[in-house]
Amino acid sequence: MNSFSIKIGGEAGQGLVSVGNILLQAISQEGWYLFSHRDYESRIRGGHNFTQFRLADEPVHTLEEAVDVLVALDKATIDRHRQELKEDGVVIYDPSVQGETIDEPGFVAVPFVEVAQDQGQPKVMANAAAAGAIWSLLGDDLERVNGIFAAMFSRKGEDIVEGNKKVAQAGFDRVRDALGHRDMPPKPANAGPQYLIAGNPALASGALAAGVKFMSAYPMTPSTGVTEFIAANGRRCSVIMEQAEDEIAAMNMVVGASYAGARAMTATSGGGFSLMTEAIGMAASAEVPVVVIDAQRPGPSTGLPTRTEQGDLLYGFGTASGDFPKAILAPGDVQEAFYLMGHAFNLADKYQMPVIVMSDQHLADSYETTIPLDMDKVIVDRGEIVSGDEAGPDYKRFALTESGVSPRLVPGSGPALTVAAGDEHDEEGHLVESAEARRAMMDKRMAKMKGVAEEALPPVLVGDDEPELVLISWGSTKGALFETVDKLQEKGQKVKGVHIKQVYPFSQDLEAVLQGPGKKVVVESNYVGQLEKLLGMEFAWKPDGCVRRYDGRPLNPDYILRELEGGGHLG
Amino acid sequence: MNSFSIKIGGEAGQGLVSVGNILLQAISQEGWYLFSHRDYESRIRGGHNFTQFRLADEPVHTLEEAVDVLVALDKATIDRHRQELKEDGVVIYDPSVQGETIDEPGFVAVPFVEVAQDQGQPKVMANAAAAGAIWSLLGDDLERVNGIFAAMFSRKGEDIVEGNKKVAQAGFDRVRDALGHRDMPPKPANAGPQYLIAGNPALASGALAAGVKFMSAYPMTPSTGVTEFIAANGRRCSVIMEQAEDEIAAMNMVVGASYAGARAMTATSGGGFSLMTEAIGMAASAEVPVVVIDAQRPGPSTGLPTRTEQGDLLYGFGTASGDFPKAILAPGDVQEAFYLMGHAFNLADKYQMPVIVMSDQHLADSYETTIPLDMDKVIVDRGEIVSGDEAGPDYKRFALTESGVSPRLVPGSGPALTVAAGDEHDEEGHLVESAEARRAMMDKRMAKMKGVAEEALPPVLVGDDEPELVLISWGSTKGALFETVDKLQEKGQKVKGVHIKQVYPFSQDLEAVLQGPGKKVVVESNYVGQLEKLLGMEFAWKPDGCVRRYDGRPLNPDYILRELEGGGHLG
Amino acid sequence: MADKLFQTTPRETAWCPGCGNFGILNALSDALEELSLEPHDVLFVSGIGQAGKTPHYIKGNVFNTLHGRTLPAATGAKLVNPELTVFAIGGDGDGYAEGGNHLLHAMRKNVNITYLVHDNQVFGLTKGQASPRSDQGFVTGTTPQGVSLESFSPLATAITLNAGFVARSFSGNKSHLVETIQAAVNHEGFSIVDILQPCVTFNKINTFQWYRSRVYDLKDDENYDPSNRTAAWEKAQQWGDRIPIGVFYKVDRATLDEAHPASANGPLVKQGVEYDGVKEILDGFAVNG
Amino acid sequence: MADKLFQTTPRETAWCPGCGNFGILNALSDALEELSLEPHDVLFVSGIGQAGKTPHYIKGNVFNTLHGRTLPAATGAKLVNPELTVFAIGGDGDGYAEGGNHLLHAMRKNVNITYLVHDNQVFGLTKGQASPRSDQGFVTGTTPQGVSLESFSPLATAITLNAGFVARSFSGNKSHLVETIQAAVNHEGFSIVDILQPCVTFNKINTFQWYRSRVYDLKDDENYDPSNRTAAWEKAQQWGDRIPIGVFYKVDRATLDEAHPASANGPLVKQGVEYDGVKEILDGFAVNG
Ligand SMILES: Cc1ncc(C[n+]2csc(CCOP(=O)(O)OP(=O)(O)O)c2C)c(N)n1
Ligand SMILES: Cc1ncc(C[n+]2csc(CCOP(=O)(O)OP(=O)(O)O)c2C)c(N)n1
Ligand code: SF4
Ligand code: SF4
Ligand SMILES: [Mg+2]
Ligand SMILES: [Mg+2]
């Protein structure tokens, strides 16, 4: 792969997001593949944030640590990130913010505000100066960027569009004059139509495509993007998003709505998930399908609210008191985010149980270009539902069946009645105390896990069939994992990559991989090795080594390769 | 062991508890060893409940399934339990309740109410008739029981005492006349002084002996006994028990009290534990010691509120989002209940972390005779505490140390200040965002697990050193496990019993046991085999078989032996 | 006599003989009988506690959910199917202790459901601990020195939160209770009926007799005007020698389901995937280079 | 000039320039300075949100706990050490959404702490969603059609729950705020001060100017009597063109720490194991055959 990385750093509220949006659009429209991640603090203004873009001639799903261009809207960007610069790297900075002019090769001073004002434009157009300056490295002219200005600002009037264009041109010229033309990765031919989308909208769209009719949530980073996306499309997609007073209410509203017959979901993170676990257990007992997105962030507790981690797997595995059927899915990229939501709803409906979708800040907030999401591929399977007209007076909500699944009745759909309880109950749903009835109902509920396990999604495998090294990971680490495999293969190593997108129950296909050839290394974003522990539990197995990251930043191939080379973690 | 079992069944509110209390006192005062368990429904009146007593010539920690005497205060008792009767068993029943007289060997009709009224006493004294009737099998006269009446009712006046005595005598005579004298297990000589105590009071007393100063809880069966015991002793032991509006408040009050310097705890069950998990994670992050009793009952959800299960182990293991230090203890009997509470507080204080004590309904509600609990054996170790006078202005609450433990400061104890946060923080306790600071603080917190693991309590081992069969269990299954080992040894089998009282982190001593000789069978009260899974995770190990019970009733040697013989579960 | 539609089932109840819950169950059954509803039009969502068992003894759809969570579960169900007549049923512990936050916000939301609180001033099922409704001084296992907290006033709180329909009734006065439940159901918006319900086992203070000798009907005062919010709030403070029952306060406000445009085309439970809407969203992600 | 004891720290705040939180921080610092307390006598318990960060910028003991859980954490600390002056500090989302149940019951408990609510009528930290204090019609990412719920009135609710000290102040009026905080601290029992705090980033409706042109001091009305509960409750309804600030209601009630006999011998944090008491309990288990 041939790629090029740009990092733009600045304070919150300085316009980072605007410059970022322009670049996201421009780069992807220009035809490159793109991956971009935001790194931001838990505050609204100030601090030090950055966005990193990586464009490439091949599909790209992770960042690299070194950057080709550093754009400094604040002083901290250069102080903290200059050592990440590649040889020949370029730094575009604002000398007025930096407090000095830096006379080093590759450093170009662009006083963004001044540039805007020189063009007779207001200060806020400093953003356009930055965008133009950056674009001088990527393109030969500003046509692409100007088109974006037109689309973005036409509602605000022609003056604004033209002002932005002028300022961008001035920024462009400054850098072009200083550095001349730069070679960029080739633009892929025949890439075909692409989407530009981040994890949160992909999850939300997946839910809408699956026919979610009700969502309730309480805002919590990094899940809020899902919530607001659903809310924004309430009218368009006939879905209610009701902001709850707390996560307990959110989850219980969802269970109530699903009991009543609507596909229903929530999204939360860490502490919010804690508050939902009681109702998740209740849904399992009353056999009410629910889908819960847990967008992980570093814990314990409030931890680092805007950072990433894969630290809730063991918690999700335990979920709540007692034994009950459930499944946990962990999308690795926006494609999986979209399609696994549909799968989650189908599993939930088919087995009348909770399904947890584990996202994280890295997935939630990273944009990537990807082939179009196809809603015709989303199949809606509501499982066994019986109407109140068909059911007849002897209908029993929890009729004992071999599969463990009993046809569900939508209340009000006809004369038959449906009774459900979180207490232990008999086939009709009324409370029981006897040992026999308890055993029968446990057997029935847990029988569902047979079906769930049989259709567990297999791991995604890449690389060699007879590997010397097998790298195993889950969820949003997928992109970093697979690129690491590529890089090691390029160096001539025999490597296999194993991406696990269903983390509970595991596909039995994993057994062959774990017992197969090659040293096994589990790669994940947490301290204790949560996937490793679960694999150990299921397969009585221990890996040969591990790569773990727990500083709140996403894994990437450079980090993984360094750890593998360090070898310290190879047991 | 030579033992004798009595089961008294009836509706809630019928006086079962009173008869039971008289028998508990009388049997234990008489010098027998005793174990007794209550089986009751989640309702206040009616239904079918029973209490079972097993007296023996040796210490006894579990029930047997077959009974020598069945005392029927309701009809259901005979209908449901007569098949449990041993050969030569006796049934004492009330023909007016039964609706018929049963003319079979061993059946003695005692119309309890009528007997009371015949003696010119009120209906409620039917209890005394039952007590007297039962005692005719156990003793040669009613001196013992009369003494208990005197102690119980003297405050109510001599008339009441005498009335009870008369009625009891009439009940006694009825049965003695019908059946004559019965042989009972010998009374142990030199048993030494004994306590009669159930799990809940043992846990509560353990906490008081350890100097708990604050408790907050929201009532939830089967933990409420702990709460009410502490509340009742508020004045006597200088401890506040504050009933909270919900479990979230309870747990957060506890964390607040502990932050302020007091030993603090809560007790709850299933759904209540769910609501506490967020604050448990927060305690871990802010390094505030807390002790949480989770009195398990069958889940999922509200499940069977008054029954028993060991179904929260995986949940407790996950506990909350993110990775953090903690320990989980699981007392096997009243002795362990008492002493492990002290240990729990010491661990919590020493490592400034949450400690979960997993009890269950079986432990909570079972009475047993036991050697005295010795508060001089309870050592209070508050860990590293520094006063605000000593600490100095540069005091840092989360100073990085090798052990991971940083001296804790009690706020208000002198000029130095203490700052703590559930967000990720620096050494001073203020919020941080940097990767380096995050890594350092995670390393510090998790370093504590080294110490915690090193002092993990070893398993309790009984039986053969070179076993063919190794039975492994945890928590309240201890009594059933050890008696099973005895019984198999009596049959000439080479068996070892392994009781795990610290379930997280495990003692490394377990490794040798698991890898050692003999078929391994894990015995536990849940559906999926939660201990088995955790052992599998830690030691990459699978047992040869398992015995599981998940109908809400406690394990006992008969059940275990039957399952072992069935062999179906031996892999 | 024809069978009642909302007959109480022959199922044995888990209640103590003489419990105030029986009166509520019977009144509920009678009230529904006259409301031209069929059992399958009705959903009873209940909590955990003795009160929470009520729906198991009457005909209708039942969701017996968690302790304290009746209101959000009922809200979720109502929002996706406004055609259901939804009751939330629970005890005073359920609603005012564990569920307090939901009560506050259900009233703000003004979702069109009827909330029946079986108010026995005690935690019944867990054997007699203090509830937020326990009078000061009430001695229980968790409050051996007697309750020190001021008793919670659900009615004054509901009036403060501008709940649509705020009433109190008494399990020992069937006709009053039947009438009050019917009025509550007929009110469009959130209705709360706090029902004095003697617990014969654990509350030896607030007995049938205690209540009976104290309650009086607000209707007896011709001048009482349930649209006067301040007067209602003051009336709601009355407790002790005289305890008012009846409709304290009534106000018409927009309900939550009306606020969501999604339900414009009928109940959401009857809607499928909005193919065109989703397509439009997905097209919006396309890189139009 | 000598350093202030309760100086705000040089630590950079995480707040937006111009945020109403600065006014509160400064007023808090000034208020404490005059109360003859030392920083180590004071404990600030705070929640999660922009408001919850406040204690990190002032001298004192700090426990920055969970979103919505300031009140129980503060209550626990106060009960075991009544010698500490305890503040609970959080946002309107923290206190009235996530923490609503604790608010209700903290007022019933009447624990002797001071609760400062930074009321910006919005969720600041999570970027501008509606809070229970948002005015009807307020458009946010979670309420694209505008908030339909009635705004929560913390003051009317507090008066209904008979909270000991109920006040409102304004971040833009420092002397008023300083005075109000001092009065709140001096009150024995639960004090709540709802502080109007403009969020310059996410609330473009309820701005400094919006508040400034509306607030008036209750003291300006000579006849206003904070011991008149009904009048206070009615006054607490006022919102819109004119917004009263000041002490709405005050009442003396027994505090929670007084209710527990355990603290009779001084703060529990200073007590050890009650050897004799425990011994007595254990002896009670002995089988005296
Ligand atoms: C989360 C949770 N906490 C506690 C309990 C235990 N619990 C069951 S019912 C109940 C209180 C019952 O009181 P109330 O709601 O007034 O109902 P009542 O039995 O008096 O009708 C409690 C505390 C529970 N089931 N779930
Ligand atoms: C359990 C939980 N739910 C949600 C969040 C996310 N969260 C953090 S602050 C906040 C709301 C902030 O609003 P407010 O309390 O009014 O404080 P402000 O930022 O406006 O001062 C939310 C929802 C959280 N940290 N924990
Ligand atoms: S305990 Fe009280 S509330 Fe429960 S059934 Fe008995 S009398 Fe009724
Ligand atoms: S977002 Fe609002 S409340 Fe938060 S710091 Fe900025 S202005 Fe203040
Ligand atoms: Mg009650
Ligand atoms: Mg706010």
Closest residue in D to B260 (Cα) is D77
- Cα–Cα distance, B571 to B545 (Å, whole number): 5
Average predicted confidence (pLDDT) for chain B = 96
Is-contact B111 B95, C-beta < 8 A?
A: yes
| Averaged pLDDT, B161-189 | 95
- Domains of chain A, first to last: 3-179 (3.40.920.10), 197-377 (3.40.50.970), 385-454 (no CATH), 460-566 (3.40.50.920)
Mutate to test the interface with B, among C15, C71, C122, C142 (most CBs of B within 10 A): C142
The alpha carbon of D30 and the centre of ligand 6 are apart by a number of angstroms equal to: 23
Give the residue ranges of chain A where pLDDT is below 70: 567-571
Q: How many C-beta neighbours within 10 Å does residue A91 have?
A: 23
Q: To test the ligand 4 pocket, which listed residue (D15, D54, D94, D203) has its Cβ within 8 A of the most ligand atoms? A: D15
Tokens of residue B352, six digits: 């400034």
Is-contact D224 D218, C-beta < 8 A?
A: yes
pLDDT at B420 over 90: yes
Give the model confidence (pLDDT) of D91-134 as tens digits: 999 999 999 999 999 999 999 999 999 999 999 999 999 999 99
pLDDT at B570 over 50: no
Nearest atom in ligand 1 to the alpha carbon of residue B275 is 1
Is-contact B430 D54, C-beta < 8 A?
A: no
Is-contact D27 D177, C-beta < 8 A?
A: yes
Q: How far is CA D99 from CA A217, A224, A248, B474, C76, in A?
A: 16, 19, 12, 38, 21
Chain A and chain C share a number of CB contacts under 8 A equal to: 233
Residue D81: name the closest of D73, D91, D70, D92 by CA: D73
Terminal-to-terminal C-alpha distance of chain A? 31
d(CA D86, nearest CA chain A) in Å: 22
Q: Taking the mean position of all CA atoms in its chain, how far away is CA C172? A: 18
pLDDT value at residue B39 = 93
Count of CA atoms in the C-beta half-sphere (13 A) of A372: 15
Whole-model pTM: value is 0.98
d(CA B126, nearest CA chain D) in Å: 25
The alpha carbon of C204 and the centre of ligand 3 are apart by a number of angstroms equal to: 11
| Averaged pLDDT, D255-262 | 90
Which H helix or E strand runs over B441?
A: helix B435-454
Q: Is the CA virtual torsion A465, A470, A471, A472 positive or negative?
A: positive
CA-nearest residue for atom 1, ligand 4, is D124
pLDDT value at residue B571 = 40
Q: What letter does residue A64 receive in the DSSP assignment?
A: -
The alpha carbon of C50 and the centre of ligand 3 are apart by a number of angstroms equal to: 6
Give the model confidence (pLDDT) of B41-61 as tens digits: 988 898 999 999 999 999 999
Is-contact A415 C40, C-beta < 8 A?
A: yes
pLDDT at D3 over 80: no
Chain C and chain D share a number of CB contacts under 8 A equal to: 79
The alpha carbon of A306 and the centre of ligand 6 are apart by a number of angstroms equal to: 18
Tokens of residue B550, six digits: 């998940």
CA-nearest residue for atom 24, ligand 2, is D67
Tokens of residue D99, six digits: 């923490």
pLDDT value at residue B564 = 96
Which H helix or E strand runs over A23?
A: helix A16-30
Neighbouring residues of A265: CB distance < 8 A, sequence distance ≥ 6: A207, A212, A214, A215, A254, A290, A291, A292, A293, A345
Which H helix or E strand runs over D147?
A: none
Q: How far is CA B555 from CA B63, B478, B552, D236, in A?
A: 9, 9, 9, 60
Q: Which residues in B lie closer than 8 A to residue A84 (C-beta atoms)?
A: none
Q: How many C-beta neighbours within 10 Å does residue A158 have?
A: 10
Mutate to test the interface with D, among B197, B215, B233, B240 (most CBs of D within 10 A): B240
Residue D210: name the closest of D177, D240, D180 by CA: D240
Neighbouring residues of A480: CB distance < 8 A, sequence distance ≥ 6: A61, A62, A473, A523, A554, A555, A556, A557, A559, A560
- Chain D stretch 17-46, residues whose beta carbon is closer than 8 A to a beta carbon of chain A: 17
Average predicted confidence (pLDDT) for chain D = 96
- 3-state secondary structure string across A185-226: CCCCCCCCCCEEEEHHHHHHHHHHHCCCCEEEECCCCCCHHH
d(CA A419, nearest CA chain C) in Å: 4
pLDDT value at residue C1 = 43
Q: Which residues in B lie closer than 8 A to residue A426 (C-beta atoms)?
A: none
Is-contact A225 C252, C-beta < 8 A?
A: no
Count of CA atoms in the C-beta half-sphere (13 A) of A60: 28
Residue A299: name the closest of A285, A288, A313 by CA: A313
Give the residue ranges of chain C where pLDDT is below 50: 1
Ligand 4 in contact with D25 (CB < 6 A)? no
Who among B241, B245, B305 is closest to C100 (CB)? B245
- Cα–Cα distance, C54 to C51 (Å, whole number): 6
Who among A43, A227, A245 is closest to D100 (CB)? A245
Domain ranges of chain C: 21-261
> Looking at the CA of B248, which ligand is closest?
1
Burial class (CB in 10 A: 0-12, 13-18, 19+), C242: exposed
- Cα–Cα distance, A522 to A472 (Å, whole number): 5
The position carrying tokens 């920024």 is A171
pLDDT value at residue D1 = 43
Tell me which chains share at least 3 CB pairs under 8 Å with chain C. A, B, D
Q: How many C-beta neighbours within 10 Å does residue A26 have?
A: 25
Q: Say if the Cβ atoms of D50 and A245 lie within 8 Å.
A: no
The alpha carbon of A150 and the centre of ligand 1 are apart by a number of angstroms equal to: 61
Q: Say if the Cβ atoms of A321 and B552 lie within 8 Å.
A: no
Q: What are phi and psi of A69, to 5 degrees?
A: -135, 135
Band of pLDDT at residue D11, cut at 50, 70 and 90 = confident
**Which strands sit side by side in the sheet containing B419-421, from one edge to the other?**
B419-421, D61-64, D42-46, D85-91, D114-119, D191-196, D165-170, D243-250, D215-217
Q: Which residues in B lie closer than 8 A to residue C124 (C-beta atoms)?
A: 44
> Looking at the CA of D47, which ligand is closest?
2
Closest residue in A to C278 (Cα) is A209
- Cis peptide before B300, with omega less than 30 degrees from 0? yes
Amino acid at D265: N
Q: Say if the Cβ atoms of D269 and B235 lie within 8 Å.
A: no
Q: How many C-beta neighbours within 10 Å does residue A537 have?
A: 23
- Cα–Cα distance, A198 to A366 (Å, whole number): 5
Is-contact C23 C172, C-beta < 8 A?
A: yes
Tell me which chains share at least 3 CB pairs under 8 Å with chain A. B, C, D
pLDDT above 70: percentage of residues in chain D = 99
Closest residue in C to B48 (Cα) is C14
The position carrying tokens 């705004």 is D151
Helices (H), B238-333: 247-259, 270-286, 313-318
Tokens of residue B129, six digits: 């008739």
Is-contact B418 B429, C-beta < 8 A?
A: yes
Q: Which residues in A lie closer than 8 A to residue B285 (C-beta atoms)?
A: 299-303
Greatest pairwise CA separation for chain D in angstroms: 81
Who among C100, C110, C160 is closest to D105 (CB)? C100
Who among C68, C124, C144 is closest to B246 (CB)? C68
Q: How far is CA D258 from CA A339, D80, D86, D262, D266, in A?
A: 59, 12, 16, 9, 11
Q: Say if the Cβ atoms of C286 and A193 lie within 8 Å.
A: yes
Q: What are phi and psi of A454, to 5 degrees?
A: -65, -35
pLDDT value at residue A15 = 84
Residue B398 in contact with partner chain A when CB distance is under 8 A: no
The answer regarding whether domain D21-261 maps to CATH 3.40.50.970 reads yes
- Cis peptide before A505, with omega less than 30 degrees from 0? yes
> Looking at the CA of C54, which ligand is closest?
1
Residues of C with CB under 8 A from a CB of D: 97, 99-101, 104-105, 108-110, 132, 145, 148-150, 152-153, 156-157, 160-162, 230, 233-234, 253-254, 256, 259-261
pLDDT value at residue B569 = 55
d(CA C210, nearest CA chain D) in Å: 24
- The helix-helix angle for A435-454 and A334-351 (nearest 10°) equals 150
pLDDT value at residue B498 = 98
Residue B240: name the closest of D71, D261, D109 by CA: D261
